[in-house]
Amino acid sequence: MSGILKSVLDHLDLERIETNLFRGTNVVMGSPRVFGGQVIGQALVAASRTVEDRAAHSLHGYFLRPGDLEHPIIYDVDRIRDGKSFTTRRVVAIQKGEAIFNMSISFQKAEEGLSHQIEMPDVPAPEDLPSETEMFKNMVDAGSPEMKQMLDRDRPIDMRRVEPYNYAKPEKRPPLQHTWLRAADPLPDDIYVHQCVLAYASDMGILSTCMLPHGKSFMSGMMTASLDHAMWFHRTFRADEWILFVQDSPTSGGARGFNRGSMYTRDGILVASVAQEGLIRQIS
């Protein structure tokens, strides 16, 4: 397993310090603040460790304050309800005595029921597309030294964009993008690991969708940050196999952009949906 993916999994493996209290440390991603996907994934891990025999089917979280890379994060789990079919947990992420994130997670006992889905779009296969690392090679010389460090690094998630995009020189285009993604190496056969890794990856790049029609990116004088994040798990999957992340943005306004995503397995099964609103404030 590659060093960076092992590091992510190690950071998702929280330390239990009390019955409902967990401690997590931070993955350095090149950004000056804690990556939002890490906090989502760790909060889901904390909640999952208080549940047995049922998997998460939805989560809804709010980012309250930027995370400090230099300090661990404490996750406080509130066991709101344990029902016959559904279990509900609320998790508050705390740093230096202040809440930086809170999330509600619902778990469900597996059962059969009516099933349908919208079809996956027809796009090129991931093997026919350059990796994100290759795509970023042309951008490493642009931006600040911190930006160069963030772009020129090993990545725990292998991402292949169907529509190439130059963050250093963005051009206006419709608010729609397709990205293949998977964990960079095989993962353990544990549904909670796969859910947490996909939750981690779901915050990678989705916020850029709402800036596409404006010809903007995080490298072009914008202050960007995830404000809230929701995810629904529809069916089982493996996060170490290719998943197509179809993203669109119906609207933006008030320095906020709204983004949606659908996640399909390679054989066209819709396994998860994502929604996120983010800050997109012009600062220069």
Q: The pTM is what? A: 0.92
Query: Is the per-residue pLDDT at 1 higher than 80?
Result: no
Query: Is the per-residue pLDDT at 152 higher than 80?
Result: no
Active site residues: 203, 226, 276
Q: Are 75 and 90 in contact (CB under 8 A)?
A: no
Of the pLDDT bands very low, low, confident and very high (cuts 50, 70, 90), residue 5 is: confident
* Count of domains for the chain: 1
- Name every residue whose Cβ is closer than 8 Å to that of residue 188 and which is 6 or more positions away in sequence: none
Decide if 174 is inside a domain: yes
Decide if 116 is inside a domain: no
Query: Is the per-residue pLDDT at 118 higher than 70?
Result: yes
Q: Are 275 and 260 in contact (CB under 8 A)?
A: yes
Strands (DSSP E) contained in the chain are 15-18, 21-24, 55-63, 73-82, 86-95, 98-108, 157-161, 176-183, 222-233, 243-253, 256-265, 270-282
Q: What is the pLDDT of residue 235?
A: 97
Decide if 147 is inside a domain: yes
Q: What is the pLDDT of residue 185?
A: 93
Range of the domain at 233: 3-111+125-282
Decide if 120 is inside a domain: no
Q: What is the CATH number of the domain that holds 104?
A: 2.40.160.210
Tens-digit pLDDT profile for residues 194-222: 999 999 999 999 999 999 999 998 888 89
Q: Are 63 and 279 in contact (CB under 8 A)?
A: no
Tens-digit pLDDT profile for residues 79-92: 999 999 999 999 99
Q: Are 182 and 59 in contact (CB under 8 A)?
A: no
